[in-house]
Amino acid sequence: MAFYKILKAGLLKVLTNKDSVNFELSEAESVLFLRYDRIGDMIITTPVFRELKKSFPNIKIIVLASKSNSDVLKNNPFVDEIFINNKNNIFGDLFTLFVLRKRKLDVCIELDHSVVPHAIIRLRIINPKKIISVSKDGRYGVSGNELKMYDFYAPKQRNLHFRDIWLSTLHPFGIKPINNCYDLFPSDSQDKVAKNFLKKYLNKIIIGINLEGAVKGKKIQDDELERICKGLKKDHNNIQIIILSDPKKLERVDQLIKEMGLSYVSSSYKTSKILDVAALVKNLDIVITPDTSISHIASALNKPVITVHEKNQKSYQLFAPTSLLNKTFFSQKHNNLQGYDVQELINYTSHLINKILK
């Protein structure tokens, strides 16, 4: 086992060996971001694109995104070009990677906080002049500062949100970010669809409840949902609850709503794209969710948001909601949402409703 670790460490050093290029970042004409992971991560990264573009308006910002998170960037005026990547299929991505290599890119910003082999391979193929990343702990016994591929490391300070950690990758450009708010740009047509759907609930407080997240175990259980809905209705008669759901699970949600038999609870319309969801959230009054993506969408639109989080303060610190009005309730388990205080969640939501009514 020790032999294989030594072998992997040696291969890592060889793979990340790179001669330094004498190049001033202030002269950069193109910057590529590697961000082909989850939707929430892309949302949190949007301030980085904006602050870089505002400081260097002529710089070309390119993002290597995933199929699932690329829609976050649609209509974004601070991103010039998007390429689609699949991190689990590097051979299928070779054409895209060599297209990027041919561009002779000035800078690449890789946002992984750990040493990720597939990201390193992609960087080797793309071969930008300079590479910036977040400070890495290392791997196979090799420390982050031994990886010569990276020209600059943004310090990963403790007790910082990921948005601020990722914004710190702009420090080598001499940029001091002014605004760390997220950006989402649903279209007028998407906004119109949301408004048309909700107009039948005019003069009601509209609460969106998202039932589950992408990670297994992050779920509001059926009995908890019913208790939340009934509790809120008891405190506030003039409410409408909309259940937000993955389009593939709409049938199950409709069946659940039918079984509850509550006239003030209905399902959302089918939202096939993430900006469809953003348009709907934009027109809600309050959002309740265990899912970080929905939480970040609500934060981008500064909607009051209540989240349920597993018992993991480190994860919470990195991904906490950022709306001006937000509250998180923690479970008693490290890897699921069992044991959070449902009644306290109801009480706080009622408190927010009272604030909105005032």
Strand partners, 154: 134
Q: What is the pLDDT of residue 35?
A: 96
CA atoms within 13 A on the CB side of 163: 23
Region of poorest pLDDT, from 8-22, 200-214, 221-235, 329-343: 8-22
CA 286 – CA 304 distance, rounded (Å): 5
Q: What is the pLDDT of residue 5?
A: 65
Q: What is the pLDDT of residue 135?
A: 87
How far is CA 239 from each of CA 20, 204, 206, 279, rounded to the nearest angstrom?
A: 61, 5, 6, 20
Three-state DSSP class for residue 71: helix
CA 70 – CA 355 distance, rounded (Å): 35
Is residue 2's pLDDT more than 80?
Answer: no
pLDDT in tens, 242-283: 999 888 888 899 999 999 999 999 999 999 899 999 999 999
Q: What is the pLDDT of residue 16?
A: 74
Three-state DSSP class for residue 148: coil
Q: What is the pLDDT of residue 13?
A: 72
Q: What is the pLDDT of residue 40?
A: 94
Cβ 32 vs Cβ 109: under 8 Å: yes
Cβ 59 vs Cβ 89: under 8 Å: no
Mean per-residue pLDDT for 51-61?
Answer: 97
Sheet containing 326-330, strands listed edge to edge, beginning at the edge strand earlier in sequence: 265-267, 239-244, 205-210, 286-289, 305-309, 326-330
Instruction: Tell me the pLDDT of the chain averaged across its residues.
Output: 91
Region of poorest pLDDT, from 19-28, 165-174, 336-345: 19-28
Pick the CATH number of 188-357 from 1.20.1260.120, 3.40.630.40, 1.10.1050.10, 3.40.50.2000: 3.40.50.2000
Sheet containing 130-134, strands listed edge to edge, beginning at the edge strand earlier in sequence: 81-84, 60-65, 30-35, 107-110, 130-134, 152-154
Task: Kindly give the interhelix angle for 342-357 and 222-235, rounded to the nearest 10 degrees.
Answer: 40
Global pTM exceeds 0.85:
yes
Is residue 1's pLDDT more than 60?
Answer: no
Return the amino acid letter for 264: Y
pLDDT in tens, 106-144: 999 999 888 888 888 999 999 999 999 998 877 777 777
pLDDT in tens, 335-358: 888 899 999 999 999 999 999 887
Question: Do 8-173 and 188-357 come out as alike in CATH topology?
Answer: yes
Q: Which helix (H) or strand (E) holds 242?
A: strand 239-244
Return the amino acid letter for 143: S
CA 73 – CA 275 distance, rounded (Å): 9
CA 286 – CA 357 distance, rounded (Å): 12
Q: What is the pLDDT of residue 17?
A: 77
Q: Which two tokens stand for residue 255?
A: 């069946």
Is residue 3's pLDDT more than 70?
Answer: no
Q: Which comes out higher in pLDDT, residue 13 or 121? A: 121
Domain spanning 8-173: which superfamily? Glycogen Phosphorylase B; (3.40.50.2000)
Q: What is the pLDDT of residue 52?
A: 98
Domain ranges, ordered by start, for the chain: 8-173, 188-357
pLDDT in tens, 78-106: 999 999 998 778 888 999 999 999 999 99
CA 15 – CA 233 distance, rounded (Å): 60
CA 143 – CA 141 distance, rounded (Å): 6
